[in-house]
């Protein structure tokens, strides 16, 4: 494992995690949401994640596992790891109440009703619980970005960018309720910004735990699980949220654009 790849992997997880701070900037100027740009961006991120998961990551996992485990066991191991990744992220979603869950689509207007003391207390609770929820959600994403970068730096860059885009609405989920409850934009920004730190933390813990065991078999299993996680996030979070923030066609246009850009990128990286 080259030290340069390790440093790059940590750098990318920090970049992806702290992109929640971009979402928190909405508290400084938000008035009206359902923006076309956000809808297209979320659809674009979903397109990148879905396409790269099936075309590149899962295929590479199969190659590694077939080489290590054989032609009969390898494909089954890749499939099992893929669905295990889906199960893990789905279980995390299931254990977090829906309104505090950052992977449940919510419009800013629905969170931003700032009238009444009781509502402000409830909004503050929502913001704080969302911070905890995002911390939990970002943890496996940090491991996924880190592991992908270690194996393939160019692939890690693409995954980090896609994860960063999808972290933006999570930043909104934290910052808007806290701002509405406290009236403090700076506090809302800080809470949202810091909630992304769990992503590099996940990478660090994954690095410390997995380091003694990293080999082609482990990488193959991790890659397949990463593909499952990213497909689930795209279908369960990104596309529904993109439709909420814009018209249906905007999210689909973004989805197709993301897939097209991903294909072109892969051809240049080949």
Q: What is the 3-state secondary structure (H, E, C) of the chain?
A: CCHHHHHHHHHHHHHHHHCHHHHHHHHHCCCCCCCHHHHHHHHHHHHHHHHHHHHHHHHHHHHHHHHHHCCCHHHHHHHHHHHHHHHHHHHHHHHCCHHHCCCCCCCHHHHCCCCCHHHHHHHHHHHHHHHHHHHHHHHHHHHHHHHHHHHCHHHHHHHHHHHHHHHHHHHHHHHHHHHHHHCCHHHHHHHHHHHCCHHHHHHHHHHHHHHHHCCHHHHHHHHHHHHHHHHHHHHHHHHHHHHHHCCHHHHHHHHHHHHHHHHHHHHHHC
Please give the Cα distance from 86 to 91 (Å, whole number).
Answer: 8
User: Which pLDDT score is estimated for 43?
Assistant: 81
What's the whole-number mean pLDDT along residues 135-154?
A: 75
User: Which pLDDT score is estimated for 34?
Assistant: 44
pLDDT at residue 32 is higher than 90: no
- Helix, strand or coil, per DSSP, at residue 77: helix
Place of tokens 């009444």: 116
Of the candidate ranges 58-62, 78-82, 222-226, the one whose mean pLDDT is the lowest: 222-226
pLDDT in tens, 233-243: 788 877 887 77
pLDDT at residue 126 is higher than 60: no
With beta carbons less than 8 A apart as the criterion, state whether 21 and 193 touch. Answer: yes
User: Which pLDDT score is estimated for 35?
Assistant: 59
Place of tokens 């596309």: 239
Of the candidate ranges 29-38, 111-120, 249-258, the one whose mean pLDDT is the lowest: 111-120
User: Which pLDDT score is estimated for 118?
Assistant: 53
Give the C-alpha distances (Å, rounded to integers) separating 200 from 22, 27, 68, 135, 157. Answer: 17, 24, 29, 11, 14
What's the whole-number mean pLDDT along residues 135-163?
A: 76
User: Which pLDDT score is estimated for 148?
Assistant: 76
pTM of structure: 0.66
User: Which pLDDT score is estimated for 232?
Assistant: 87
What's the whole-number mean pLDDT along residues 2-18?
A: 83
Residues 6+ apart with CB under 8 A from 89: 137, 140, 228, 229, 232, 233
Q: In the structure encoding, which two tokens stand for residue 111, read together?
A: 């969170």
Place of tokens 């359902």: 34
User: Which pLDDT score is estimated for 79?
Assistant: 95
Q: In the structure encoding, which two tokens stand for residue 2, read together?
A: 């080259």
Hey, how many other C-beta atoms are within 10 angstroms of the C-beta on 70? Answer: 11
Please give the Cα distance from 200 to 39 (Å, whole number).
Answer: 26
User: Which pLDDT score is estimated for 222?
Assistant: 81
């Amino acid at each position: 494992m080259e030290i340069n790849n390790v440093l790059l992997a940590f750098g990318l997880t920090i970049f992806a995690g702290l992109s929640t701070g971009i979402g928190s900037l909405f508290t400084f100027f938000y008035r009206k949401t359902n923006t076309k740009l956000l809808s297209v961006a979320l659809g674009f991120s979903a397109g990148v994640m879905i396409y790269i998961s099936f075309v590149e990551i899962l295929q590479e996992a199969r190659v590694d596992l077939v080489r290590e485990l054989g032609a009969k066991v390898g494909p089954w191991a890749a499939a099992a790891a893929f669905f295990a990744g889906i199960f893990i992220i789905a279980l995390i979603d299931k254990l977090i109440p829906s309104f505090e869950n950052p992977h449940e689509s919510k419009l800013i207007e629905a969170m931003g009703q700032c009238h009444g003391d009781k509502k402000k207390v409830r909004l503050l609770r929502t913001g704080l619980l969302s911070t905890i929820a995002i911390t939990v959600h970002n943890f496996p994403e940090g491991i996924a970005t880190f592991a992908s970068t270690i194996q393939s730096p160019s692939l890690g860059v693409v995954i980090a960018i896609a994860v960063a885009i999808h972290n933006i609405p999570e930043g909104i989920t934290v910052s808007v309720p806290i701002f509405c409850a406290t009236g403090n934009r700076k506090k809302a920004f800080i809470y949202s910004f810091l909630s992304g730190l769990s992503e590099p933390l996940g990478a660090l813990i994954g690095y410390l735990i997995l380091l003694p065991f990293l080999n082609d078999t482990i990488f193959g299993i991790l890659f397949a699980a990463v593909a499952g996680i990213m497909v689930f996030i795209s279908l369960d979070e990104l596309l529904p949220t993109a439709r909420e923030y814009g018209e249906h066609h905007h999210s689909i246009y973004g989805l197709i654009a993301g897939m097209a850009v991903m294909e072109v990128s892969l051809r240049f990286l080949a």
